[in-house]
Structure 1
Amino acid sequence: MDVYEKITSLAKRRGFLYPSYEIYGGEAGFYDYGPLGILLKNRMEEVWREYYILKEKCYEIATPVITPYALLKASGHVDEFIDEIGTCTRCGLSVKVEELKDDRCPVCGGAVEKGSLNLMFETYIGAKKKEKAFLRPETAQGIFVNFPVLYEFFRKKMPFGVVQVGKGFRNEVSPRQGIIRLREFSMAEAELFFEPDNKTHPRFHEVKDETMHLVSDELDSEMTAGEALQKGIIGNEALAYYMVITKKFLERVGIDTAKLRFRQHKRDEMAHYANDCWDAELYSDRFGWVDCVGIADRSAYDLTAHMTATGTDMRAFRKYDEPRKIKRTAILPKMDALGKTFRGKAKKIADELRKCKISGDTDTVTLNMDGETIELDATFFNVEEVEETLAGEKFVPHVIEPSYGIDRIFYFVLEHNYKEVEKENETYVLITLPPSLAPIKAGVFPLVNKDGLPDIAREIERELRDGGIMAIYDESGSIGRRYARMDEIGTPFCITVDYQTKDDDTVTVRFRDTTEQVRIERGKITEWIKKEMEK
């Protein structure tokens, strides 16, 4: 077995991951998180929140997964979120076009019929199924459509960031890579709003000397964030900053940074909304380099698209240092003439006229209001040059988006920390998770199952849990076997209650990675473990 097969077997056996709906034959592209898996996943998401909410001062929101058709039509996903596919006329297998072998089925060699597939899951809203909708392909759109209220929440100050952690859905053509390619997946996305001409970050100086492995058409080398920015390899400071933050997060949750690189998207693979994008790719012994995080400059694409589709003002306001006087050509409505002809509609027509932008002489203006086309000639307006004093200007913010695939990172945390050691001609598995990330922080054992040792061990387990440390009691098998069970789920500390404990109230603590053992006073064990996890 290769490492992927070993991890998959271990994950199922020890409660990390299970294929979904297995008793019904399973369904490709879906996995369940087991008891230990969800503890590890939740902890990863907590660490992510530490970076983006506590340190970066973002706020989190939660929006529905069911998304109206009109929204995703405006965002471009209806037209652009498409894979070209080939369906075998012999065996019926559907695969992406790039997976075909000499334009034939990669499994049976049969001829294929080519077509296209929108990757979003369709659904409907309402009992009569009149309103078409989709399961969201990303959490980002829920943030973008809330921009006006979020801008108010942040007291109209730029830049600011909003995050969302939740489910996304992608109707993959033929998912065959386990948790690496899912149809329902967990995402953690941050949308960071900047002024278009000021994509700087106030803390960039703290990370400018951090090195990253960068790959593009022109390079494949290590360099600092500052150097990459200076040479124009990374387009702006904010993008470079969040690439470094991504590296720090991945390292914190246990990713081997020797197996991490940042690859710039080629123009022909760029998402329809992206101006620039770098993927954080992680190396797998089976799958090679796999993209797990995308850090994209989405420019003003999304806010502009929703503003165009709905008429909602998605702009922010930038105040000038000093008021500026400008001259412009303006349409001035003639209210008397409008009132006589249009009566109740006059004010609304006048407001629309004032919004019109013109240059030079204009004899007629065409307005589209509430599905009605209104033609106006010079009887209803004057065209004059006016002078205005402006306190500032409106602009559509640009967005930098780090988007994390939590499930893929979860798998790579296991693979990068999977180790095998030989002891007495037996192979033992060790998952060297960072202690703070481990689903179980401590195993508590009685040396023998008599003389009151089990009672003391159970009391210690309860004390640890009461102190906020996830611990489990185990009395089955030899001490060596119990250590091994803890090692293969990543438990960093094992506590053994022995006869000395009854004499001096101390316990033996074994370190997972070194097997070193120390004695600690029972009353100090909770705080001792907390301090060790902070290291």
Structure 2
Amino acid sequence: MSETGSASAGVDAETLAELAKRRGFYFPANEAYGGASGFYTYGPQGAALKRNLEASWRERFVTREGHMEIASPTVTPEPVFEASGHLDGFDDMIVECPECGTNHRADHLVEDATDIEEAEALGTDRVSELIADHDIACPTCGTALADEPVSGFNLMFETNIGPGSASPGYLRPETAQGMFVEFPRLAEYARNQLPFGVAQVGTGYRNEISPRRSIIRVRELAMAELEQFYDPETDHPPLERVADVSLPLYSAAAQERDGEIEHFTVEEALDTGVVANDWIAYYLGVAAEWYASIGVDMDRFRYRQHLGDELSHYASDCWDAETELDGNWIEVTGFADRGTYDLSQHDDHSGEEFTVFKAYDEPETVERPSVDPDMSFLGPEFGSDAGRIAEELQGLAERDPSAFEGADVTVELDGEEYTMPTERTGFAVREETIPGEHVTPHVIEPAFGVDRLIYTVLDHSYREDEVEGESRSYLSLAPDLAPTFVGVFPLMDKDGLGERAREVAADLREAGLAVTYDDSGNIGRRYRRQDEIGTPYCVTVDYESLDDESVTLRERDSTEQTRVPIAELPARLAALRAGGPFER
């Protein structure tokens, strides 16, 4: 996933990193042993936020779309990646400092020192020239990097499966290949009926040259990917569901003319040809609505189309969903048209069939040229080559039936010609009833970076204001995403208030709500703690509660409060979690 360009700034990275560490969203892993860059631990709040975001993604892209979900292994045998092309093409550009030995992403150095947004697409030779032209130095020690070689570095983590090195494998860099490799069985589960989708939420591993910007660029990353299998001749998405959804598109054409983001509805984008594939347009629309629902600021969001020279080896078109973070546009999702590349590659390399049989509405009768060679002639005449010659005769009959019109027919094998009487080939054009055909499905892949979406949600939901003369920072998280949904406090932990508050908290947990109990410090400080982790609502048990069995319910963003009977509290909070209004 790429990082590009600049845009309007939001909360600065240092403030967000400090909040994330202090409040338990995420922090560098294994710090007791010095840690290793590119690895992060999600703390209690972050793990809950991640779980809620993944649940929201599943609900929208799996459950509501009627797709399947699988969970494949993270360790994958080497032949899978030979077939997929990852062993040859999953590289980033690396340059090593001759003085301190530090390795750097060469294209990132160029992007940081120039106005170039996608140096990755320029190739190693051009990036090397730019490093020299702009006198780019090592960020670690300041040594000039001009004339230092820029080369490709494969990002996959290699391992061995079992003892020794006879069975090499790799930690998967993406979840996609697990879905492609299992396609024959998954197609059976789908009753060989296209279209169908397969999703997977899981972990990928990329040995990044220079991890940076906390969880934006890491070596172990969380992904949520969907593979939509379809036949472009017959299968089309339900575009009417998203036809009027507005898309902020930054097309390749607009980028080439230094243009701006243009807004189209899904329908307009297809009608004007700005988006060529109707399945991509459909998922751009579905995703745009979902991004807004989880708290992405759509004024700091765009879909950017890949330029021709930056497309991956498997893609004929790709649009990145990008969010503005700390003055930069960061890719959070890629929507790629992978065509038949992956299934065709695995079909060629595995010996299995990666196709779907599609029956015709009515069986078709066709005339098909074929041969039935007289092996009693071919054997004595051509010896050990007879079998291969018979195969070549069948191929020639399919390619060029007119070759059998003469008295003799000639085939070529390993550069040598073999001629035989046509009557000995058994050539004939026979009628055959065809019930259907084997089709290699096309694939559209929306691939979501979960970590980057978490960072985006935290960044875009961060707010600062003033409450009763005091400055406050809080996270305006969507209720169904917030790690904790409601905080329960006793006004003070005496006179039975603590006991009653703990009973209220227990009842709310029984109702299926994520609850935290806090009796430490004054009530204002407790509110601020919950505001800062994005808890939408807080409940306070006070002396009045002991008399009339009601509590104070406070809303996070507005800080408004209302009294609610304790007996009605679970239903009231459930309605708020479902999106209902906060009423005083």
- TM-score, scaled to structure 2: 0.85
1:110 alignment counterpart? 144
Pick closer, same or farther for the CA change 1:131–1:433 going to 2, 3 Å.
Answer: same
- Equivalent residue letter for 1:439: P
Aligned equivalent of 1:255, options 278, 296, 307: 296
Question: Aligned equivalents of 2:393 and 2:159: distance in 1?
Answer: 41
Which amino acid is 1:474 matched to? D
Give the Cα separation in 1 of the matches to 2:471 and 2:526: 15
> How far apart, in 2, do the equivalents of 1:337 and 1:145 lie?
44
Q: Distance in 2 between matches of 1:376 and 1:123?
A: 49
Shift of 1:333: 4.7
Match of 2:353 in 1: 313
Give, in whole Å, the separation in 2 of the partners of 1:57 and 1:129: 42
Q: Are 1:125 and 2:161 matched, yes or no? A: yes
Is 1:204 equivalent to 2:239 in the alignment? yes
Moved more, 384-393 or 204-213: 384-393
- Asked which structure has the greater RCO (Cα within 8 Å, sep 6+), the reply is 2
Amino acid at match of 1:48: W
Q: Which residue of 1 aligns with 2:517?
A: 473
Does the residue aligned with 1:113 lie in a helix, a strand or coil?
coil
Q: Distance in 2 between matches of 1:162 and 1:129?
A: 33
Structure 2 partner of 1:29: 38
Q: Deviations over 1:176-195 (max 9, x none)?
A: 22111011100000001010
Structure 2 SS opposite 1:527: helix
- Identical amino acids, percent of aligned pairs: 43
- Cα gap change, 1:469/1:334 in structure 2, threshold over 3 Å: closer, same or farther? farther
Write the distance in 2 (CA, Å) between the matches of 1:383 and 1:30: 65
Query: Which SS does the other structure have where 2:144 is aligned?
Result: coil
Say whether 1:90 aligns with 2:126. no
Structure 1: runs of 5 or more not aligned? 368-374
**Cα separation, 1, equivalents of 2:176 and 2:380:** 48
Cα drift, residue 313 of structure 1: 1.1
CA distance in 1, matches of 2:187, 2:350: 17
Q: 1:157 aligns with which of 193, 198, 216?
A: 193
CA distance in 2, matches of 1:483, 1:51: 32
- Which consecutive aligned stretches of 4+ in structure 1 deviate over 6 angstroms post-superposition? 335-342, 346-356
Going from structure 1 to structure 2, the CA distance change for 1:309 and 1:355 (only over 3 Å counts) comes to farther
Against the structure 1 CA distance between its residues 504 and 304, is the aligned structure 2 distance closer, same or farther, given a 3 Å change threshold?
same
State the alpha-carbon separation in 2 of the partners of residues 260 and 335 from structure 1. Answer: 68
Aligned counterparts of 2:98 and 2:218: Cα–Cα separation in 1: 26
Q: Deviations over 1:348-368 (max 9, x none)?
A: 99899868854243644769x
- Aligned residue in 2 for 1:53: 62
Aligned position for 1:139: 175
Shift, 1:73, TM fit: 1.0
How big is the shift at 1:429? Answer: 1.1
Instruction: Give, in angstroms, the shift of residue 2 of structure 1.
Output: 5.5
Distance change >3 Å, CA 328–CA 454, structure 1 → 2: same
Counterpart among 340, 343, 348 of residue 303 in structure 1: 343
1:507 pairs with 2:551: yes
Shift of 1:377: 7.7
Query: Could you say which residue in structure 2 is the equivalent of 1:371?
Result: none
- Residues 332 and 353 in structure 1, CA contact (< 8 A), matched pair in contact too: no
Once residues 259 and 511 of structure 1 are traced to their aligned partners in structure 2, the CA distance between those partners, rounded to angstroms, is 26
Aligned counterparts of 1:376 and 1:456: Cα–Cα separation in 2: 96
Superposed CA deviations along residues 436-457 of structure 1, whole A, max 9, x for unmatched, are: 1111011101112111010000
Q: Is the 8 A contact 1:442 1:471 kept in 2?
A: yes
* 3-state DSSP of counterpart to 1:382: coil
Q: Mind listing any 5+ residue stretches in structure 2 that lack a counterpart?
A: 1-9, 114-130, 255-260, 404-408, 580-584
From the superposition, tell whether residues 363 and 6 of structure 1 become closer, same or farther in structure 2 (CA, over 3 Å): same
| CA–CA distance in structure 2, aligned partners of residues 2 and 468 of structure 1 | 33
1:413 matched to 2:422: no
Q: 1:238 to 1:96 in 2, by over 3 A?
A: same
Q: Does structure 1 conserve the Cα–Cα contact (< 8 Å) formed by 2:11 and 2:462?
A: no
TM value normalised by structure 1: 0.92
Q: Does 1:329 align with 2:338?
A: no
Instruction: Quote the Cα distance in structure 2 between the aligned partners of 1:109 and 1:512.
Output: 51
Cα drift, residue 335 of structure 1: 6.5
Query: Which residue number in structure 2 is paired with residue 17 of structure 1?
Result: 26
C-alpha distance in 2 between matches for 1:523 and 1:446: 17
CA contact (8 A) 1:199 1:237 kept: no
Q: Distance in 1 between matches of 2:573 and 2:412?
A: 74
Between Structure 1 and Structure 2, which shows a larger proportion of strand residues? 1
Matched AA of 2:245: E
C-alpha deviation, 1:501, in angstroms: 1.1
Contact 1:329 1:359 in 2 (8 A): no
Alignment check: 8 A CA contact 1:199 1:238 kept: no
How much has 1:261 moved relative to structure 2? 0.6
Distance in structure 1 (CA, Å) of the matches to 2:381 and 2:199 = 51
Q: CA-to-partner distance for each residue in 1:473-510, whole Å, 9 max, x for gaps? A: 11111111110011000001100111111111111100
The answer for the alignment partner of 1:495 in structure 2 is 539
Aligned to 1:527: 571
